[in-house]
Structure 1
Amino acid sequence: MRTRAKTAGIALMAVLLPWSAKAEDGNWFTNMLKYGGTTVPPSQPADLGEVYCPTVDVAENGAALRSYGGRADDNAGLRSQITLGRLARECVRLADGSVSVKVGVEGQVLLGPAGRPGRFEAPVYFTIKAGDQIIATRARKVSVSIGPNEAQGLFTVIEENLVVPRPLSESYDIGVSLHGAPGKAAVKRKRKPAPAAAQAETSPEAAQ
């Protein structure tokens, strides 16, 4: 009983304080991304020339995804919350001068007060951009199971071979998000004001 109560307490704290997404180097997660194992293999001769490899950014409002059983933002009706955790990347220069990017994402699914154990899908979007130009996009859906008497489930996604052309290989950004279509930041867009005549005929509720 103590273990179950402790697990539920952790889940509730995570709902109130979402697991922050961050990029880290030099841990077992990045070792898995780079070497396919938890340990670092013997050192190899260094590659000639450096490869530009920016840290992974999370799109605005893209680090958490919540599902409600009733009114949105009502914590009592929260069914589940998906959050991004650690992020990692690896960049390799190809023979033609382009760069192949590999991105790793850790995340978790937490049950809310109104949630039930079961299978959940975590949508993860990967984007490579240079300024406003979208270079590459990928979308992945990861299944996460939460069993009886459990309050959370973990997932890991590794996306490979996101290629950056040589002309853009020295200035690009790597992004991930749980929201929106690939390549689009999860930001609120301002609606264009309606014409005065249309506003007069539309109720405030319908205009929302």
Structure 2
Amino acid sequence: MRRLVWGWIGLMGLAAAAAAATVKDVRLETSESEDTVRIVLDAPAQFRVYELDAPPRVVVMVPGAHPKAGLAEAGGGGGVERIAVRDTEQGARVEIRLKRRIKPDVRAEGEELVVRFAHPAEEKAAQPRAVVEDVLARDQDGITELVIAGRGLEKNYNAFRSAGGRRLILDFWNAELRAGKSHYSFPTQNVATVDLG
């Protein structure tokens, strides 16, 4: 019985060795939206994926496979620093070293293992804050003109009337107050005071 079991295991090992895949090539493709590493095999194969830190890396193990002779290391591009291919006792090891940690999307597509790294969405450039620098009021031809001096005030604001229409509130979103004072008094027909805060 023991001899039969060992013989069966031995036959399975020989069959697995005969069917072992070869890593023929590893290619890196970069675009504005993603980096793609294509692991080209000569036959479909099982694989395992490991995400490692310090430095950030993604390792694709292809059990029982072996890299083609001379296939060793490739330069990087985009978010990929370099790609190294090793022949180990467990199989072919493809190590993708990254400039920063990015979650991979790994899929088998026929005889290729495709590892995609989507580029993170670019952060929008911070908009400069609106600034209130001074307040002026003057009468002209029976109309009181109120001037709020500053920068970027026209972009985001709300206007409200209260106290039966006798008070006007201007709300400048996220504005910075750089005026020399917070209370202004004016001897004009329609504007008596302005408070900033």
TM-score normalised by the chain length of structure 1: 0.27
Structure whose CA Rg is larger: 2
Higher strand residue share:
2
Higher helix residue share:
1
